[in-house]
Structure 1
Amino acid sequence: MSTTLFKDFIFEAAHRLPHVPEGHKCGRLHGHSFMVRLEITGEVDPHTGWIMDFSELKAAFKPTYDRLDHYYLNDIPGLENPTSEVLAKWIWEEMKPLVPLLSAVTIKETCTAGCVYRGE
């Protein structure tokens, strides 16, 4: 049985978008409570009944989480222009080697706005 599981994480961070038109509000320093959703897709192990232990996924994400939480994203190599799209791809590249069954990274900057990256 193939299925998808997900785990959500919240981190606080500041950023600004350097390539927006002059006067755009996102060009100013501001922060978000970012939500990251990591999705894992695969076959359910008949013995354990799961694809992956949630605690293993949490442990795999912890070093990346610690690099993001309460930091200025623009200072992190690869996040000089930290849009949601760039951040989702950056997290994918950090996580895919550690979690081969990773199938999607979702970023939400607000309750109503975000993006999904599927490694394409």
Structure 2
Amino acid sequence: MKITICRKEQFNAAHRLHNPSWSDEQNAAVFGKCNNPNYHGHNYNLIVKLSGNVDPDTGYVYDMKRLSNLIKAEVIERFDHKNLNLDTTEFNQLNPTAENIAIVIWNLLRAKISTDYDLGLTLYETERNFVEYNG
């Protein structure tokens, strides 16, 4: 029987939603305030979910401290207090929408977590706006 464990972390980052192949008018019409040329920021809340079988020796699906350390190394240190458009390689050519951020984070974590575990995540950009990605 599979069970899901969840770890919640937070990071703060700035971004600008912008498509360089569009005119300024089209960018403003589609992205609104999120297209501000001076950027804007969010306090992102990330919930990482791993589903798997409980290890009979440890009673764990996955060691939560190990998961926390992995998220900090792969996500928090990379994106916290950064301008995603300017300070990261992941988003210098990719529009840093919540959807794209979630996909990038999922790929970073998937590369470090065995496929024995189902991986999913929820990324809150605001209290009311969030995305879920399960690969």
Q: TM-score, normalised by structure 1?
A: 0.92
Aligned length: 119
**C-alpha contact 1:96 1:102 (8 A) present in aligned 2:** no
Per the alignment, residue 2 of structure 1 pairs with 2
Structure 1 unaligned segments of length 5 or more: list them: none
Question: Match for 1:107: what amino acid?
Answer: L
Per the alignment, residue 97 of structure 1 pairs with 111
C-alpha offsets along residues 53-73 of structure 1, whole Å, 9 cap, x if unaligned?
A: 110001111222101000001
Instruction: Give the whole-Å Cα distance in 2 for the aligned partners of 1:89 and 1:16.
Output: 17
Larger Rg: 2
Structure 2 residue 38 is the aligned partner of structure 1 residue 22: no
Q: TM-score, normalised by structure 2?
A: 0.82
Q: Residues 13 and 97 (structure 1 numbering): CA distance in 2 closer, same or farther, change over 3 Å? A: same
Instruction: Give the whole-Å Cα distance in 1 for the aligned partners of 2:118 and 2:66.
Output: 13
Runs of 4+ in 1 over 6 A off after TM superposition: none
Instruction: Give the whole-Å Cα distance in 1 for the aligned partners of 2:66 and 2:109.
Output: 12
Structure 2 residue 83 is the aligned partner of structure 1 residue 67: no
Per the alignment, residue 13 of structure 1 pairs with 13
Instruction: Give the whole-Å Cα distance in 1 for the aligned partners of 2:43 and 2:118.
Output: 23
Give the superposed CA RMSD. 1.4
Identity level (%): 33
Per the alignment, residue 49 of structure 1 pairs with 59
**Structure (1 or 2) with the greater helix fraction:** 2
Instruction: Give the whole-Å Cα distance in 2 for the aligned partners of 1:21 and 1:70.
Output: 25
1:21 aligned counterpart, secondary structure: helix
